[in-house]
Amino acid sequence: MQVFKRLPLTIVRGKGMKVWDDEGRDYLDFVAGLAVVSLGHCHPVLVRAITQQVKLLTQTSNIYYTIPQLQLSELLVKSSCLDRVFISNSGTEAVEGAIKLARRYGKAHLDGAYEIITAYQSFHGRTLAATAATGQNAFQEPFTPLPTGFINVPFNNIESIMNATGKQTCAVMLEPIQGEGGVNVPDDDYLDKVRNWCDEKGLLLILDEVQTGIGRTGSLYAYQQYGVEPDIMTLAKGLGSGVPIGAFLAKEKACAFKPGEHGGTYVGNPLMCAAGYAVLSYIIDNAVPAHVAKTGFALYIGLQKLAEKYSFVKEVRGRGLLLAMSFKQEMAGKVVDGCLENGLLVNMVKPDAIRLMPPLIVEGKDIIKALDILDKVLAKGN
């Protein structure tokens, strides 16, 4: 089905920071499967975990326990501020589960409250409920009428959340940094204010860390940089480094589900959990978030220098290895095409902005090469 606007590139192989097309040409990958390939392409740790597990067991259903699911769940809990885990197949499913859990909590503890406040320019997934939660009209309009129970308000504005809160509100759901919305970074105290408001009103705070989690912003979870703790958190993307997996975690007080109220045939299967456990273990044991903070800062500084060099660059924004460069005109597509021609993959996140989200293993030499290519491309637009 023609639902993707694809670039003229057929990728057949990947290794580390590079991918190769069907004609043998290599590209430096600063898209990483949309912030997914956290350990780079075909990392030995992931390959080994999948190879070993596929020989043992791939699917049992959640009627039974499996060792990989227990291992991954325990590690997620130990590495976060949350108490319980549900492992899903994708980020969208994780968000859908978080929405259901918040509504179940509202029914059980908030007199049936069911509304969830989300932000404009957010992105929470592709199901109908997640689309309703996503505060972007372009995603919503083709599928109206959407499920009710979502109120979209301006991002980085605590007053808008306060004004939208009513008797039917059960939760606030935000991305710590808006990824698909353009890599929008809130004020340092924004999430703290939201946390305080949720505590005052007895609401759940859901942080959608599908894109920002698993080391992407320079800490294992982005909430750790803002000094707040969510009641529910969603994860996916980098958790499997290319293997489809998601999860939502919750504090004990928010775990309102009863047996039979949520599930899925493939969720938490041994193969995906073995992959997730191997990836997360590697990221924690090798201090990858600290590496991300260092290399992300170097990339940010390099992009800032380009912004100073070219007057048509509007700004550079982001944290860690989730960065965007915006322009004063809608030229992002042209920049992406130019980079592709010169062997660099970057992403057009908005018509006037490109996004850079390389594998977390990126090194200084990769950053220098990427910046040199981008400089060459921008010079043609000057």
All structural domains of the chain = 11-30+287-381 (3.90.1150.10), 44-285 (3.40.640.10)
The set of catalytic residues is 123, 208, 237
For residue 171, what are the β-bridge partners? 116, 204
Give the pLDDT confidence score for residue 381 in this predicted structure: 79
**Per-residue model confidence as pLDDT tens digits over 182-215:** 999 999 999 999 999 999 999 999 999 999 999 9
CA 259-265-266 angle, 5° bins = 120
Angstrom distance (rounded) from CA 86 to CA 147: 23
- Six-digit token pair at 167? 């008797």
- Selection from 154, 200, 192 nearest residue 176 by Cα: 192
- Six-digit token pair at 314? 């509007």
pTM over 0.95: yes
Residues of the chain with pLDDT under 50: none
Give the pLDDT confidence score for residue 249 in this predicted structure: 98
**Per-residue model confidence as pLDDT tens digits over 220-229:** 999 999 999 9
Helices (H), 87-127: 91-109
Per the omega criterion (within 30 degrees of 0), is the bond before 230 cis?
no
Which residues does 360 contact at the CB level (< 8 Å), separation at least 6?
A: 38, 39, 215, 216, 238, 283, 288, 291, 292, 321
Give the pLDDT confidence score for residue 382 in this predicted structure: 60
Output b/e per residue, 302-320; b: 16+ Cβ within 10 A: bbeebbeebeebeebbbbb
Q: How far is CA 272 from CA 37, 45, 222, 235, 339, in A?
A: 14, 14, 23, 14, 33
